[in-house]
Amino acid sequence: MKTLSEESLLLPNPLREGLVEERIPEPAAMVIFGASGDLTRRKLLPALYSLTRDRLLPARFAVLGFGRQVLSDEAFREEMRHGCEEFARRRPVDPALWAAFARNVFYQQGAYDDPAAFRRLKVRLEEIEHTLGLPGNRVFYLSTPPSTFAPVIRSLGHANLAPKPAPGQPFSRVIIEKPFGIDLQTARALNTEVHDILDEQQIYRIDHYLGKETVQNLLVFRFANGIFEPLWNNHFVDHVQITGAETVGVEARGGYFEQAGSMRDMVQNHLLQVLSLAAMEPPVAFEADAVRDEKLKVLKALRFIPVSDFEQQVVRAQYAAGSIGGKTVPGYLSEPDVSPRSTTETFVALKLFIDSWRWAGVPFYLRSGKRMPKRVTEIAIQFKEAPHLLFGKRGETIRPNVLSIRIQPDEGIALNFGSKLPGPAMEIAPVSMEFRYGSSFGVEPPEAYERLLLDCLLGDGTLFTRADEVEASWSWVSRIHQRWAEQVAAGRTTLDSYPAGSWGPDAADRMLAADGRAWRLP
C-alpha cells in the first residue's frame, strides 16, 4: 500500500496545466563516492530531495552513499536529513515525503582503491536494484579528492559496475567533480585513463556554474531574441568584463588552495566556461555536442599572451589583512596551512583576445579574487559610445550602454541606457531596465546541482564539459602558469598585494586605465 506522500508524487498538478511537460528520467540508482563529505550533505542530497519534491525524479530511485567513514544506513539518512533541513531549496522538509524518500537512501563503507570493497558495492547495489525493481540504470558521482578520480574509475571498470553503452542495455554514467587535472599534462593523462574504462558519452565533467539559471538563460537571451544577437560583435561591443568575486578567504582549504590558486580554482573552470558561452557562435541545434563544439571553438581561438605583453595583460596578487563588513580579517599568509613564503595568487586579472571575425580587436577582461567587498559573478557587455554626441555640454561624455548579466547572487539581467531628466534642460542620466528571476517569476530558481543532476539522469550533456574543452582551456592556462614558474625561478616574482575588503590591487586598475577603461563596480 502506497503512503500519502508516495501517492502525491503520482497525482496531476493543476499548476502545471498548459505547461510543456518536463522530462522524467528512467528509474535509476545513484552511487555517491565521498558520501560522508561536505558536498553530499550541503548540495547533492538536498538537490535530490528538492527534485523529488518537485516531482522531477522517477518514483523508483535509489541513492547509495559510499565513503571511508563507518556509518549505518540510518545514521547516514539522519545526517542527510539534517543537511536537507539546513540547505535544501525546498524547506522545511516535509516529514512524510522525507520518510518515503529516505527509505531508498543507503550507505556502504569502503576504500576507493580496495577491489574487495567494490565487489561488495556491486553486490549491495544489485540487491537494492532487485528489491526496488530498478532496471540497472546507474549514475556514479565522484565527490572525492582529485587524486582518487582515476583509482575509483579503474575500480568501477574492474568490478564491471559501469559497462560501456550497448543498445537495449541499462545506462551507466559517471559525474566527475572539478578540478579535472592541474595542468594540461595531468588533464590529458586523466582523460586517457578515464577513456580506458568509459566512453566519452558516459562522462559528465561537472562545473556547477553552468547549472545556474542565468548562465543557461544567456543562451536563450542571445539566440531566442532578435534584438541583441545582431549587436553581439566587434562592430558594436567595446569590451567585455567577467567578474567572479568572493568575500570569503581560503577558510579551511589552505592546503588545497596553495596548490590551486585563483587561476586554477576559478578561471580555468568557471570563468573560461562562462566566457565561451558568452562569445560562442550560434550552434546548429540546441544539442549537447553542437553547443560544446561552438564553445570549443572559442577556447581554441583564445590568443596566447606573448611574453612581451605578459606584464600588461596579467596581474596576480594576494590579499593582505583588512576589513570586510566591519570585521578585521587576516591576510592570506596568516591563514592555516599556508606557507609564510607562498607565491600563490588569491586574485588574478587578465586581458585577453579571441581571434575570430566576431570578436577581433575586442578585449575581454577577466578578474577573480577572494576577500573582496562583495560576492558576485557577472558578465558586463559594454557597447561602444554613440558616434556623435548631440546632447550635453561640450567636453562631457554620456555613459555608454552596458548589458550586465548577473550569475550570482540575485540572478538577472540589466540594461543601462541614457534617458532625459525631467525638466526644461536637455540633461541625460543613466537609467536601468532590469529583469530578476525572483521578482519576475515569483519563484526561487533551482539550485545548480538540481539542474545538473537531472540533466545527467536524462543523458543530456549540454551543460557538462567535454574532454577536448578541458584540454583546450588547460592549454591556454598552463602557459600562464609556466610563465609564472619561470619568473619565480629567476627571482622576479610579480605578486601584488591588496587589502581584504577591496576590489583588488592597483595594478589591475592600471591595466584597464592604460586602455582608457575602468572596472565596473557590480
As a whole number of angstroms, the distance between CA 16 and CA 376 comes to 33
| Active-site choice (130, 158, 195, 270) | 270
**Residues ≥6 apart with Cβ < 8 Å to 10:** 59
Q: Are 454 and 25 in contact (CB under 8 A)?
A: yes
User: What cell numbers appear for 69 in the block?
Assistant: 567513514
Q: Are 28 and 138 in contact (CB under 8 A)?
A: yes
For the beta carbon of residue 154, count every other beta carbon within 10 angstroms.
18
φ and ψ of 392, to 5 deg:
90, 170
As a whole number of angstroms, the distance between CA 265 and CA 259 comes to 10
Active site residue 270: yes
Strand partners, 107: 65
User: What cell numbers appear for 409 in the block?
Assistant: 547572487
As a whole number of angstroms, the distance between CA 480 and CA 334 comes to 26
User: What cell numbers appear for 242 in the block?
Assistant: 567577467
Q: Are 162 and 202 in contact (CB under 8 A)?
A: yes
Is the N-terminal amide bond of 505 cis, ω within 30° of 0? no
Q: Are 370 and 246 in contact (CB under 8 A)?
A: yes
As a whole number of angstroms, the distance between CA 77 and CA 45 comes to 10
| Torsion sign over Cα 166, 167, 168, 171 | positive
State the virtual CA torsion across 32, 37, 42, 47 in degrees, nearest 10: 0
Angle at 320 between CA 319 and CA 325, to 5 degrees: 85
As a whole number of angstroms, the distance between CA 123 and CA 160 comes to 11
Of 323, 326, 330, nearest to 249 (Cα)? 330
φ and ψ of 417, to 5 deg:
-150, 165
Q: Are 480 and 305 in contact (CB under 8 A)?
A: yes
Q: Are 144 and 34 in contact (CB under 8 A)?
A: yes
If 0-12 CB within 10 Å is exposed, 13-18 middle and 19+ buried, where does residue 216 land? middle
Active-site residue numbers? 270
